[in-house]
Amino acid sequence: MNEGMGTTYERYILHRLFENIRKKYAINNILEVPSFGMTGISGINSMWWALNGVEVTVVDDNEIRAKAIQDTWQEARLRANVVYLPQNEYVLPFENKTFDLSWNFAALWHVQKIDLLLKEMKRNTKKVILICVPNRENIGYLMLAAERKKKSLFADNIKPRIIKNIMSNLKWRLAEDGYFDVPPWPDIAMKKEELLEKIGLSWLARRYQRAEAKRWCILDYYNGKNEGLEKDIMKYSYLEDLPQPIKRMWAHHRYFLFTPDISN
């Protein structure tokens, strides 16, 4: 249960995004589908919502992982309806317009038929659909092209044009489009300390080595074991308020917020 600084940081930045959505839209229940994305402990990105009194449903396409997700939520003393849906079955077992918000984080490139998934998310959602994807304009993303090919990802699924076109055809409009997760370290497939050493910033590398020596896991915040964790990790958030044209080259992730197009 040690996710590292990077994963812990991005979860807290997600909280900021969630808070803005909650303020703008009255959210009483949410659906996270699919729950499997990139790094860290699976199925816990929606715990913030549960902490704030929102009903949470999490869908995963791996039966063993779904059981592990349920156990993790119980360990954190939080409630979620964890649903196992076999891979490539795209009919979600929920009534029309069941959820105020449906969302996923860095999960679309694991989905074979993105159009069918987004169609089901639209059917199940009343108010808001949030899609978070790796930022393809990030310099680190461009460096990792060969690594992604080894993982057999459906990389086209995270292209903004494809996501926007599908949602537009479903008669949902793009309400917001932004970049987030902008820490002072790069999004690369090596330890940040190694990169800093290579470019001659040994003093900064030693600083991060000391920080990484600590246990970083947001579950310690959720279950009350480390109430100071947010303060510790958010001291690295000073780049989040950069102008969007600058953030687009460094942000690790991008988000799209869709709402029903009432003009149709």
Residues 119-140: pLDDT tens digits? 999 999 999 999 999 999 887 7
Lowest mean pLDDT among 29-33, 80-84, 93-97, 204-208: 204-208
Give the pLDDT confidence score for residue 34 in this predicted structure: 93
Residues 3-54: pLDDT tens digits? 888 899 999 999 999 999 999 999 999 999 999 887 678 899 999 999 999 9
| Stated pTM of the model | 0.90
Alpha-carbon distances, residue 44 vs 6, 122, 143 (angstroms)? 15, 23, 28
Give the pLDDT confidence score for residue 42 in this predicted structure: 87
Give the pLDDT confidence score for residue 172 in this predicted structure: 98
Beta strand residue intervals within the chain, DSSP E: 29-32, 55-60, 81-84, 99-105, 125-134, 172-180, 253-260
- Pick the closest to residue 198 from 190, 21, 36 (CA basis): 190
Instruction: Quote the number of domains for the chain.
Output: 1
Residues 228-258: pLDDT tens digits? 999 999 999 999 999 998 899 999 999 999 9
Domain with 220, as residue range(s), is 4-260
- Pick the closest to residue 87 from 49, 119, 61 (CA basis): 61
The CATH number given to whatever domain includes residue 13 is 3.40.50.150
Residues 184-201: pLDDT tens digits? 888 765 555 565 555 565
Give the pLDDT confidence score for residue 30 in this predicted structure: 98
Between 186 and 206, residue with greater pLDDT: 186
- Give the separation between CA 48 and CA 40, rounded to whole angstroms: 16
Residues 154-183: pLDDT tens digits? 889 999 999 999 999 999 999 999 999 999
Residues 52-79: pLDDT tens digits? 999 999 999 999 999 999 999 999 999 9
